[in-house]
Amino acid sequence: MKHSQTGPTFVLHLAGQPKLRVYHIFFLTSLLSLLSLFGFQWFNGTPPSEMAHIAARCQSLSIAAGPPTTFNPSHRIKQGSDRHVVGTQATLILNARIWTGADNGTEVIYGDLLLDKGLVLAVGSISSDLLATVQKTSGTIQTVDMHGKWVTPGLVDLHSHIGLSSAPSLRGAADTNSRKAPILPWLRSIDGLNTHDASYELAVAGGVTTAQILPGSANNIGGQSFLIKLRPTSERSAISKVLEPPKTLVANQTSDHLHWRHMKHACGENPDSVYSQSRMDAAWNFRQAYEAARKVKESQDAFCARVQKIQRKRWWPWSSQQVFEGEFPEDLQWESLVDVLRGRVKLSIHCYEAVDLDAIIRLSNEFKFPIASLHHAGETYLVPDLLKKAWGGVPSIALFASNARKKREAYRNSEFAPKVLADSGIPVVMKSDHPVLNSRYLLYEAQQAHYYGLDAALALASVTSTPAKAAGVDHRIGFITPGYDADVVIWDSHPLALGATPLQVYIDGIAQIVKPHALVKPERLQKVPKTPNWDREAQQAVEYEGEPPLRGRIVRLPTSTAKKVVKFVGVKSVWMRDDNGHVHALFDEDKERTEGRTVVILDGSVLFCGEGDEHGPCSGELFDEVIDLQGGSLAPGLTTFGSPIGLVEIRLEASTTDGVVIDPLTEGKVPGIVGGDDTIIRAVDGLQFEGRNTLLAYRAGVTQAITAPLANGFLAGLSATIDTGASSAVQKGAVIQDETALHISISLNLGISVSTQIATLRRLLNNSTSEAWTRVRTGAIPLVVNVDSADVMATLLNLKAEYEVSSSNTLRLTFSGAAEAHLLADEIGKAGVSVILTSPRPYPGYWEERRFLPGPPLSRDSTLTALLARNVNVAVGVRDEFNARNTRFDIAWAALESNGTIGKAQAIALATTHLERALGSRSVHDLVIYLGGSIFDLESKVVGVVSLQRGTVEIF
Ligand SMILES: *[C@@H]1O[C@H](CO)[C@@H](O)[C@H](O)[C@H]1NC(C)=O
Ligand SMILES: *[C@@H]1O[C@H](CO)[C@@H](O)[C@H](O)[C@H]1NC(C)=O
Ligand SMILES: *[C@@H]1O[C@H](CO)[C@@H](O)[C@H](O)[C@H]1NC(C)=O
Ligand SMILES: *[C@@H]1O[C@H](CO)[C@@H](O)[C@H](O)[C@H]1NC(C)=O
């Protein structure tokens, strides 16, 4: 600091007048004191500019972050938004159902919405005077009539790595984590923000308008995060995206208040594995860092106390040494953490387990800092009272809906956590962790939370107002209120209805989708889904600490006597499959709930009771079980493919899995004792039953899985088809087919050339002596190639043709993954190749997927519809085992996205007959019982599975 060098000169000057008379001194000091009122502080020995600077600096320590107390949305209307883009047309949205976020998310206004100058100007009934004024100042108003469509605030994704973990993922833009040390509060996510990430446009197309860009979780303190608006800016810079940039980021900011700062911390497995440290080490990392920050803070406070003392003394003429010694204590590395201690940072802490939550909450009390939000936070629902002990108030809890169990600390995650936490009065946020989940489908997380019991108002708030509040920006986003940012989304259905898709998205009043492809949605999706009752399941999730029993009650179906039968009443729709590979509706009353019909399960068969069937099996006395489905449905059990379900329990805990096969192409020799490089591994030899993902899938109507060996390289092995409800491999029918198909991957990401992979395939196809290849060669089993690039698919189509000409055999070829398959839809169709889309809502995660088809509203077609239009046998699968349970939502969503071109029977076929055809698998015909709705909606719940093969009905 300059003052410490120049100070002594002034001391000498004052001290050099000892002979002055008292009244002189009195007169002089009084004058100086008076002048000091006007900012002249040179009497005290430090240059006035420095003095003012230091005083202001000290004073600023007590400024709270957030909007100034005088902040008022109606004042903003006069000025326009700081983000207003000159030239933006005013927009009038007519006849909308506007969910405003007000009244705890219960307010819905039927009316109009006026956007101008980057702000919401008016909501509801808009006066012609106001319209005239806007027209005068802003020119023509763009008017859109929404005919009663739903409108919400733009979605706020509280946990995103957009721009850091970019799409497509490339070595040159991997800026999510520094791996230099566990404690790095001085790093800033904005410094790594890739402005060319393909995800911005996609997230916006899903209605997400603002996201918090968090550094990754490789460090205990990974650095500072920032909120950005996701729209492109004319400046094209990273900084121009930042919402309310803090002073520390934009040096010349002149505002009289401090914007909130944001920071990321992480506990648990991620940082511990990167730094080979234990939880104890992590806790010490935090305490050491906070102690360093506390020391800086205390010396600042002590320094400023001295400044204050001197400033007070300046009124007294006899005070002598009016000089500051030393510099304002500052440390660029710790200043952000000092601001945490000053309560000016919204902390986002990645923390799963009770043990970690406890440590972090003790830390907050030891060093006295508030926690804005706890993220992932899988076990928070088990410890609500602990959360309430956090210093400075209970944090918001940012959750996934159903993404769980991939690592140990996520094993006890529960789909009921949002409901349980909300019941304890704890604010719930749903987040994407983009690209872990595609931010574009953030709303799906809220839909699932609602499905599993979170109140509708809180579910909508969980992706709008609650995250806005947790990030300290609820004075301008997260609500639709006059004076708020004009970030709004118009939806094609109720936002909590499955598949809700934006018709248009406005950010700062600017329409973001240039040419939206609108879907036509059924009327029943325009209202809040009437979700099932999960009270028992939610209570059990807590009681069993995240490991509730998942088996149901078994009712044996009689084989000889017709004495015991199971009868369902109130059945509204029944879907069945026949032996020719077709799914059809036995009845489907797609009307308002009628009483429904009666179905009887007897003697290994399903019987539909007509009116007047009072005798025989339909009559009153014979039943062991009578279950009222309340307008429910019976549908075929679905099949899942694409994940290692049945081979892994906790994917990242090797000791809970079958393990990864050795790939002779990319990893070296397969040991001779195994049989050498031509050995083909069979998934059937590594099966595990009754895993949680498996049983959760089963309980969600997915009764079969086709699972290939877990592989990271070229060669996987033979898949098996299993019954997800079986209890062990020795149970009759547990393994439906022990060798289903042969699986390989061909990818630009394998670390060996694609041409080498193709050469290997050609050799194996022509010359491998192994029995599996012999069967592939003759078309006895399909060859399933995991492939995304259209160029690789083209090469494979050529190879298939070449092979078939030379061998006169037919190669049964299936592409799985197949992100770019639509580019070759015609050729794939003509070659009779099946396609399994393991990402039915695709994302260009890698270069070889970058030419994917985004689907509505960005394109008319989806990959699925493009392939179906060319008569390709298309099926859907999953990549992650946790997602197997969501198969019925995936097929329902695919049908909705097809704009009516995929009927209900065909939608079921996508995860049954089409999939089995693509993989050459056998099927047993299970029936799944849905209560309160159909297989396709967020209103029904699986309450049982009829396994004719096992001769049981399992009732949940
Ligand atoms: C919103 O909810 C809170 C907490 O449950 C309650 O205290 C408050 O009165 C509610 N406000 C409105 C407007 O309903
Ligand atoms: C300084 O602030 C002004 C006004 O906010 C802004 O226009 C200008 O770009 C800023 N300069 C820099 C270097 O950030
Ligand atoms: C490999 O297969 C090709 C084509 O079927 C055949 O012509 C060739 O003789 C085979 N080579 C060996 C070593 O078996
Ligand atoms: C859906 O169908 C409607 C009516 O047939 C049509 O206007 C609209 O363009 C279609 N949208 C898409 C995405 O195909």
Q: What is this structure's pTM?
A: 0.93
Interatomic CA distance for residues 474 and 487, integer angstroms: 13
Residue 325 CB partners (closer than 8 Å, separation 6+): 4, 7
Answer yes or no: are the C-beta atoms of 97 and 492 closer than 8 Å.
no
User: Mean pLDDT over residues 55-65, rounded?
Assistant: 90
| Segment 454-475, tens digit of pLDDT | 999 999 999 999 999 999 999 9
Q: Which protein residue's CA is at the shortest distance from atom 4 of ligand 3?
A: 766
pLDDT surpasses 80 at 107: yes
Least confident of 151-165, 272-286, 666-680: 666-680
Task: Give the position, in ligand 4's atom list, of the atom nearest the Cα of 517.
Answer: 13
pLDDT, residue 14, reads 33
pLDDT, residue 39, reads 45
Token representation of residue 524: 């029943």
pLDDT surpasses 60 at 12: no
Which residues does a 6 A CB cutoff place in the pocket of ligand 1? 103-104
Residue with structure tokens 């953030």? 442
Answer yes or no: are the C-beta atoms of 815 and 834 closer than 8 Å.
yes
| Segment 366-392, tens digit of pLDDT | 999 999 999 999 999 999 999 999 999
- Ligand 4 center from residue 517 Cα (angstroms): 7
Token representation of residue 188: 């800033």
Reported as a pLDDT band with limits 50, 70 and 90, residue 73 is: confident
Q: Which of 501, 519, 862, 896 to mutate to test the pocket of ligand 4 (most atoms within 8 A of CB)?
A: 519
Task: Give the position, in ligand 4's atom list, of the atom nearest the Cα of 899.
Answer: 1
Token representation of residue 36: 């000091």
- Ligand 3 center from residue 768 Cα (angstroms): 9
pLDDT surpasses 90 at 69: no
Q: Which protein residue's CA is at the shortest distance from atom 11 of ligand 3?
A: 767
pLDDT surpasses 90 at 1: no
pLDDT, residue 555, reads 85
Reported as a pLDDT band with limits 50, 70 and 90, residue 604 is: low
| Segment 389-436, tens digit of pLDDT | 999 999 999 999 999 999 999 999 999 999 999 999 999 999 999 999
Map out the domains of the chain with their CATH numbers: 167-278+328-477 (3.20.20.140), 550-636+926-956 (2.30.40), 638-922 (3.20.20.140)
Answer yes or no: are the C-beta atoms of 462 and 81 closer than 8 Å.
no
Q: Say what percent of the chain tops pLDDT 70.
A: 90
Task: Give the position, in ligand 4's atom list, of the atom nearest the Cα of 856.
Answer: 13
Token representation of residue 763: 């050799």
- Ligand 1 center from residue 463 Cα (angstroms): 18
Q: How far is CA 564 from the centre of its chain?
A: 47
CA distances from 630 to 157, 296, 456, 746, 929 (A): 37, 65, 22, 48, 11
- Ligand 3 center from residue 765 Cα (angstroms): 10
3-state secondary structure of 941: strand
pLDDT, residue 568, reads 87
| Segment 882-899, tens digit of pLDDT | 999 999 999 999 999 999
Mean pLDDT of the residues in the chain: 91
pLDDT, residue 606, reads 75
- Ligand 2 center from residue 251 Cα (angstroms): 8
- Ligand 4 center from residue 833 Cα (angstroms): 28
Interatomic CA distance for residues 288 and 290, integer angstroms: 6
- Ligand 3 center from residue 763 Cα (angstroms): 8
Closest ligand (CA of 856): 4
Reported as a pLDDT band with limits 50, 70 and 90, residue 40 is: very low
Q: Say what percent of the chain tops pLDDT 90.
A: 80
Closest ligand (CA of 235): 2
CA distances from 869 to 48, 865, 901 (A): 78, 6, 9
Residue with structure tokens 């956590």? 417
Least confident of 169-183, 322-336, 605-619, 710-724: 605-619
Interatomic CA distance for residues 210 and 191, integer angstroms: 18
Q: How many CB atoms lie under 10 A from the CB of residue 37? A: 8
Closest ligand (CA of 808): 3
Token representation of residue 630: 């309340």
| Segment 476-520, tens digit of pLDDT | 999 999 999 999 999 999 999 999 999 999 999 999 999 999 999
- The torsion angles phi and psi of 506, rounded to 5 degrees, stand at -110, 135
Q: How many CB atoms lie under 10 A from the CB of residue 72? A: 13
Task: Give the position, in ligand 2's atom list, of the atom nearest the Cα of 250.
Answer: 14
| Ligand 3 contact via 774 beta carbon (within 6 Å) | no
Q: Which protein residue's CA is at the shortest distance from atom 13 of ligand 2?
A: 252
| Ligand 4 contact via 520 beta carbon (within 6 Å) | yes
Q: Which of 766, 803, 808, 811 to mutate to test the pocket of ligand 3 (most atoms within 8 A of CB)?
A: 766
Nearest to 747 by CA among 820, 801, 678, 804: 820
Residue 904 CB partners (closer than 8 Å, separation 6+): 575, 585, 588, 895, 936
Q: Which protein residue's CA is at the shortest distance from atom 13 of ligand 3?
A: 767
Does residue 238 or residue 318 have the better pLDDT? 238
| Ligand 4 contact via 856 beta carbon (within 6 Å) | yes
| Ligand 2 contact via 569 beta carbon (within 6 Å) | no
- Ligand 2 center from residue 229 Cα (angstroms): 19
Q: C-alpha dihedral over 183, 336, 431, 398, to 10 degrees?
A: 80
pLDDT, residue 10, reads 30
- Ligand 4 center from residue 521 Cα (angstroms): 10
Task: Give the position, in ligand 4's atom list, of the atom nearest the Cα of 860.
Answer: 13
Q: Which protein residue's CA is at the shortest distance from atom 7 of ligand 1?
A: 104
pLDDT, residue 598, reads 84
pLDDT surpasses 50 at 11: no
CA end-to-end distance (rounded Å), the chain: 72
- Ligand 2 center from residue 843 Cα (angstroms): 37
Token representation of residue 560: 């000889």
| Ligand 4 contact via 631 beta carbon (within 6 Å) | no
Closest ligand (CA of 457): 1
User: Mean pLDDT over residues 654-682, rounded?
Assistant: 95
